[in-house]
Amino acid sequence: MDGFNIALHTIFATPAVVYALIGVAWGIIGGALPGLSASITMALLLPFTFGMDPTMAIILLASTYVGAEYGGSIPAILIRTPGTSAAVTTVLDGYEMHKQGKSAEALGISLVVGVIGGLIGMILVVALTGPLSKVALYFTAPAYFALGVFGLSLIATLSEGSLIKGFLAAIAGLAISTIGIDPLSGVQRFTFGSAELLGGIDAILVLIGMFAMAELLEQTSRPDWNKTSTRLRIKLPDRATWKRIWPATLIGTGIGTFDGVTPGGGATLASFLSYNEAKRWSKHPEEFGKGSPEGIAAPEAANNTVAATALIPTLTFGIPSSGSTAVLLGGLILHGIEPGPALLTRDPQFVYGLFGGLFIANLSQLVLGFVMLPPCLWLVNRPKAFLMAFIIALVSSGIYSINQNVMDIVLMVGMGVLGYVMRVLRFPILPLVLALVLGGIVERNFRRAVDLGYGDYSIFIKDPLSATLLGLTVLFVAITIVMNFRRRRRAATQTTVQAAE
């Protein structure tokens, strides 16, 4: 069966459509609630995917990501509070349109350009995944290890804050992944006699603890968000609006594509860049920030495109571009699907099935965007106290339901505390989570490679692909160090000049 037939089969012969619809609906709700990012919304679903068919589970998670990117624009437009970080730029013109009484139009633009961006992104994903997976033939154990190191270094260097802290977070994640019985030799590692740790620390506990629990601990000191009218509707753009927003939509889609395939790019960066570029190329740049429809179209097209194209590095190289794709990667590993260049040749049923489900997810937004608006507005208008209470109850119940073990809740809360401390000390969380998720694969390929070289570590240099990837890692880290150094020196010079003046 070719890819197209597999996708059709998945859509018509499996419950993929149901999971795509549930995922988008849940994603819109999660995205619409300020404080619940796309990654948290996805992480909350993880415990419920246990026991599900892997393809259906990943369709559910990826559809949630798709829905959350649109959902984030609802509070951004209506209450000047972005639901997700990628919707920050939508606030600028969306809220202005809301103040001018054009909320329905603003929501309509966000919905339609999001669907267009998502569909174009999906077409690119289908077109690019095949050729990229052909490089799988050249990948050996040393190259897989080098790819893991390259991916982790990329995320550590691109994460917010200090480079050293990024690498330390990645090492902490790898160290946590070594806890439990070693699958290759059967030796107990770092269990300290605890039977609970024999199986290691489940990635799901870390994902939910680091993303959801840490966020809840941080949210507890923040005030409630503004409330809005519940009598709002969505109005799709008319011809005149279309004529005006299509260049901005294309700019957003183009930048979203580039950012999505770039590890470390992410939807937030794409939104900012596309807003700036749309303003630069607009015939009415003076209207940006004052309620310009283009100011909504560009970032919303960009962040929805990223939700699709971010699948390319995640699936083909195991390198996610954001927290949301890291959760998706965690979902893949939890369901026994090893991402990498060989994924398409090894498991085409999964890959094309996922693509089929995601096409449906993107299209269904057009209907679910309308259907889900009233419940989203109702939820946004509830007191934050109740929403937080229900989220904590859901997180705890979901975690307990996996193994029916109280110790899992304890570990999850422990990870939440670690996440909170890391946030306070400005250590990035993403490298730790990613390292934990990929830790098993990285270590297995490291040991396999050294075994292949009969204990000689120079195999990592002798293998051409491994040497190239490790060389790129060194180059990338060196460039980041130089750039950071220059940035600090420039900032110091500016401060000295200001002080002298």
Partner 1 sequence: MFANAISGLVLLCLSVGYYLTADAMPSSILDTTVTSAAFPKLLAIAGGLLSSALIIQNLVSWRLSARPASASSPDPDVPDIFNWTAHRRALGLLGIVTIFIIALEVVGYPAAIGLLILAVSVYQGYRLSLLSVAVAVGGALFFWLFFMVFLGIHMPLGIFSRFAASHFLPFA
Q: What is the binding site for partner 1 (CB under 8 A)? A: 161-162, 164-165, 167-168, 171-172, 174-175, 178, 182, 184-187, 189-190, 216-218, 220-221, 224, 383-386, 388-390, 392-394, 396-397, 400-401, 404, 406, 409-410, 413, 417, 420, 424-427, 443, 446-447, 450-451, 454-455, 488, 491-492, 494-496, 498-500
Which secondary structure element, helix H or strand E, spans residue 188, and what is its range?
A: strand 188-189
| Phi, psi for 181 (deg, rounded to 5) | -75, 130
Residue whose CB is less far from partner 1, 105 or 443 = 443
| Distance between first and last Cα of the chain | 72
Return the number of the residue (231 or 498) whose C-beta is nearest partner 1.
498
CB burial class (10 A; 0-12, 13-18, 19+) of residue 91?
Answer: buried
Closest approach of partner 1 to the CB of residue 498, in Å: 8
Compute the least distance from the CB of residue 448 to partner 1, in Å.
9
CB nearer partner 1, residue 96 or residue 443: 443
What minimum distance in Å lies between the beta carbon of 413 and partner 1? 6
Amino acid at 265: G
Please name the residues in contact with 430: beta carbons below 8 A apart, sequence gap of 6 or more: 155, 159, 169, 322, 323, 326
Closer by beta carbon to partner 1, 220 or else 229 = 220
Complete DSSP assignment for 77-117: HHSS--SSGGGHHHHHHHHHHHHTT-HHHHHHHHHHHHHHH
Residue 178 or 381: the one with the smaller Cβ distance to partner 1 is 178
Q: How far is CA 370 from CA 18, 65, 179, 231, in A?
A: 18, 18, 47, 13
Q: Which residue, 187 or 195, is less far from partner 1 as judged by CB?
A: 187
Shortest distance, position 476 Cβ to partner 1, whole Å: 17
Taking the complex as a whole, the smallest distance from the CB of residue 475 to partner 1 amounts, in Å, to: 19
Can you read off the two tokens belonging to residue 99? Answer: 């103040």
| Residue 319: closest CA among 170, 172, 214 | 170
Per-residue CA distances from 6 to 13, 133, 338, 350, 400 (Å)? 10, 17, 20, 9, 36
| In contact, 282 and 248? CB cutoff 8 Å | yes
Nearer to partner 1, 7 or 449 (CB): 449
Asked if 377 contacts 232 with a C-beta cutoff of 8 angstroms, the reply is yes
Minimal distance, residue 432 CB to partner 1, in Å:
12
Say how far apart CA 90 and CA 229 lie, in whole Å: 19
Per-residue burial over 125-140, b if 16 or more Cβ lie within 10 Å, else e, is bbebbeebbeeeeebb
3-state secondary structure of 371: helix
Select 98 or 165, whichever has its Cβ closest to partner 1.
Answer: 165
User: Rounded to an integer, what distance in angstroms lies between the CA atom of residue 358 and that of residue 160?
Assistant: 30
Nearer to partner 1, 332 or 402 (CB): 402
Shortest reach from residue 410's CB to partner 1, in Å: 6
Residue 467 CB burial class (10 angstroms; 0-12, 13-18, ≥19): middle
Kindly tell me which of 284 and 382 has the beta carbon lying closer to partner 1. 382
**SS3 at position 354:** helix
Q: How far is the CB of 392 from partner 1 (least distance, A)?
A: 6
Q: Considering beta carbons, is residue 243 or 488 the nearer one to partner 1?
A: 488
- Residues, the chain: 501
What is the nearest approach in angstroms of partner 1 to the Cβ of residue 434? 15
Q: Are 388 and 216 in contact (CB under 8 A)?
A: yes
Nearest distance from residue 356's CB to partner 1, in Å? 27
Least distance in angstroms from the C-beta of 443 to partner 1:
5
- Least separation in angstroms between residue 54's CB and partner 1 is 19
> Cβ distance 20 to 59 under 8 Å?
yes
Residue 309 vs 466, nearer CB to partner 1: 466
For the CB of residue 252, give the shortest distance to partner 1 in the complex, in Å.
29
Residue number, 153 or 305, with CB nearest to partner 1: 153
CA distance 115 to 82: 19
